[in-house]
Amino acid sequence: MTLPATMRQIRFNGAGGPEVVELEAAAPLPVPGPGQVLVEVAAAGINRPDCLQRAGNYPPPPGATAIPGLEIAGTIVGVGPGVSPSEIGRAVCALVISGGYAEYAIADLPLCLPIPKGMSMVEAGGVPETYFTVYDNVFTRGRLKKGETLLIHGGSSGIGSTAIQLAREAGVTVYVTAGSDEKCAFCRSLGASAAINYRTQDFVEEVKNLTGGKGVDVILDMVGGPYIQKNLAMLALEGRLVQIAFLQPSVAEVNFMPIMLKRLTMTGSTLRPRSVALKAEIAAKLRSDIWPMLDAGKVRPIVDKVFELADARAAHALMESSTHAGKIILEVKR
């Protein structure tokens, strides 16, 4: 297969807002290393960690490219040492450590999953980051199971819309918070039993009323700050709080007595710094537990808006505005 000498990619011209997002028109193609493949990117998802990286607060791990992008969909067009040439031509979606905002990107073969049946490349570009994150945090760390209750803060986000659908399919009662009546309606359309507008309602009181004072079994939070104490108040006996991000400060004054009195568990994680082996364990579980649901169309990535690669600055501006519902995708048109 003949590949071009250069490619287009997005880079950040320093740390800052969307204005630092720039298109580089003639960058060299990356070269796959042992166990890696080169993917011709068709689509890449935009995620909050990309914005944190752009602001200078979430640098890629040592040795990884500074080009942003944590998830891609496309076609394998090259292989590194130890990878069979038979992989070339396979359509995949993949979790990548960075480099997704480009015409070509490197992916570790164990983190490449097949495009779900009937799914477009654009949709598949919004699958890996959110599904890896939700599965690992809600079901593995949060130990969510059938018959329990889950509260999701930011229910209309890419993470939130994924968590609603997966919890719904698991037989869980889902409550969410969101920032507008329109976003609340969006969450209910995906299967949330109740959606609380945090701008106009006291979500602690609403959860208390919804659960008859019992509280919820699991909370998925990406806000932090003052939400931490409120989360402890909303958890039921043996409840689990799973922290995956901090849109507000990660430092807060907290009364931890509820942890003792209600035998609570606080946990959380980041995905990007983990080893390929650890991420591959999640990929294998997704393939066995979640891919059948994706293949059957029972759960889907919800795409809010699609931008061409060159319009990545506008895509970041939309992400910063928090007016979207679901995923924002970059499409690579040639």
Q: Give the 3-state secondary structure of residue 305.
A: strand
Average pLDDT over residues 305-334: 97
Task: Give percent above pLDDT 70 in the chain.
Answer: 100
Q: Is the dihedral of CA 184, 186, 188, 190 positive or negative?
A: negative
pLDDT of 266-308, one tens digit each?
999 999 999 999 999 999 999 999 999 999 999 999 999 999 9
pLDDT of 22-65, one tens digit each?
999 999 999 999 999 999 999 999 999 999 999 999 999 999 99
Residue 189 pLDDT = 98
Q: How far apart are CA 51 and CA 275, in angstroms?
A: 22
DSSP strand pairing (173-178 vs 149-153) = parallel
pLDDT of 194-206, one tens digit each?
999 999 999 999 9
Q: How far apart are CA 176 and CA 140, in angstroms?
A: 20
Average pLDDT over residues 183-189: 98
Instruction: Name beta bridge partners: 106.
Output: 38
**DSSP structure string for 254-276:** ---HHHHHHT-EEEE--STTS-H
Q: Where are the domains of the chain?
A: 6-127+272-331, 131-268
Q: Which CATH class is domain 6-127+272-331?
A: alpha beta
pTM of this prediction? 0.96
Q: Which of 142, 134, 110 shows the shortest CA–CA distance to 37? A: 110
Average pLDDT over residues 218-237: 98
Q: How far apart are CA 293 and CA 288, in angstroms?
A: 10
Q: Kind and range of the H or E element at 71?
A: strand 71-79
Q: How far apart are CA 214 and CA 207, in angstroms?
A: 9
Q: How confident is the model at residue 72 (pLDDT cuts 50, 70, 90)?
A: very high
Q: How confident is the model at residue 1 (pLDDT cuts 50, 70, 90)?
A: confident
Alpha-carbon distance values, 24 to 28, 103, 330 (Å): 10, 11, 15
Residue 166 pLDDT = 98
Average pLDDT over residues 174-201: 98
Q: Is the pLDDT of residue 133 over 90?
A: yes
Count of C-beta atoms within a 10 Å radius of residue 301: 26
CATH match for 131-268 among 3.40.50.800, 3.20.20.70, 3.40.50.720, 3.30.450.40: 3.40.50.720
pLDDT of 75-104, one tens digit each?
999 999 999 999 999 999 999 999 999 999
Q: Kind and range of the H or E element at 293?
A: helix 291-295
Mean pLDDT of the chain: 97
